[in-house]
């Protein structure tokens, strides 16, 4: 069984935030494959089903992004899932809005949720699907690096002009998940990166 985790923060106030793109992707995948993500276990909302004939467990950790490792670690242990059978969907500040980047592993790259997962799992070797949310910029176009401004940005909602690109990205994430399950991460990286 593959564990597919979308990172996000629980609660209606965060539902449309940039940081919640992982939750939105899980919701889309669930609708697409008639899976209802309603079971509460291991500090997560989960459900199992099949995507392309492969058994999957979809999960939305309810620990808030920065503590995602707590919930995912519990799910991995409960279901005896190998770390390389984990696919994590998350936001990425350093990618342009709507761009996808698939990786078979690697560092957290400054993402506190991924850092939490690496700490909890004791491994960097899990697949990531990163969705670009862009980086906040000053009026003249230079990137904002102030930590508080970045936190405000990732916890803000996409503006209406960005929603079309984000909805396309969410649909492409579903295609990328299907490709990973059917053909493996290398083939998916060649197709979607």
Task: Quick: pLDDT tens for 43-95.
Answer: 999 999 999 999 999 999 999 999 999 999 999 999 999 999 999 999 999 99
Which residue of the set 19, 33, 111, 178 is catalytic? 19
Q: Residue 100 is encoded by which pair of tokens?
A: 């996808």
What's the pLDDT band for 141 if we cut at 50, 70, 90?
Answer: confident
**SS3 call for 66:** helix
Which distant-in-sequence residues (6+ apart) come within 8 Å of 74 by Cβ?
A: 42, 43, 44
Which string of b and e fits 8-24 if b means at least 16 CB within 10 Å?
bbbeeebeebbbbbbbb
pTM of this structure: 0.96
Confidence (pLDDT) at 74: 98
Give yes or no for a contact between 8 and 157, defined as CB atoms under 8 angstroms apart.
no
Give yes or no for a contact between 35 and 48, defined as CB atoms under 8 angstroms apart.
yes
| Residue with tokens 């990786």, as numbered in its chain | 103
Please determine, for residue 13, whether its predicted confidence score (pLDDT) is greater than 90. yes
Give yes or no for a contact between 157 and 166, defined as CB atoms under 8 angstroms apart.
no
Please determine, for residue 139, whether its predicted confidence score (pLDDT) is greater than 90. no
| Residue 19 is a catalytic residue | yes
Q: What is the mean pLDDT of residues 127-144?
A: 92
**SS3 call for 106:** coil
Confidence (pLDDT) at 108: 94
Kindly give the residue spans of alpha helices, DSSP state H, lying in the chain.
21-32, 68-78, 112-121, 147-154, 160-183, 185-192
**SS3 call for 62:** coil
């Amino acid at each position: 069984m593959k564990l597919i985790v979308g990172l996000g923060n629980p609660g209606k106030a965060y539902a449309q935030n940039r940081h919640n793109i992982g939750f939105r992707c899980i919701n889309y995948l669930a609708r697409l494959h008639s899976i209802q993500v309603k079971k509460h276990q291991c500090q997560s909302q989960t459900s199992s089903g099949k995507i392309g004939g492969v058994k999957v467990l979809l999960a939305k950790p309810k620990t808030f992004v920065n503590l995602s490792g707590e919930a995912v670690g519990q799910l991995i242990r409960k279901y005896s899932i190998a770390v390389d059978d984990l696919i994590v969907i998350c936001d990425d500040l350093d990618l342009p809005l709507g761009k996808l980047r698939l990786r078979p592993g690697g560092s957290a790259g400054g993402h506190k949720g991924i850092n939490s997962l690496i700490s909890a799992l004791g491994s960097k070797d899990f697949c990531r699907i990163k969705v670009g949310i862009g980086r906040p910029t000053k009026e003249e176009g230079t990137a904002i690096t102030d930590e508080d401004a970045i936190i405000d940005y990732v916890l803000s909602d996409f503006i209406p002009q960005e929603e079309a690109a984000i909805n396309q990205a969410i649909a492409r994430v579903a295609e990328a998940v299907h490709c990973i399950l059917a053909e493996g991460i290398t083939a998916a990286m060649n197709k979607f990166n």
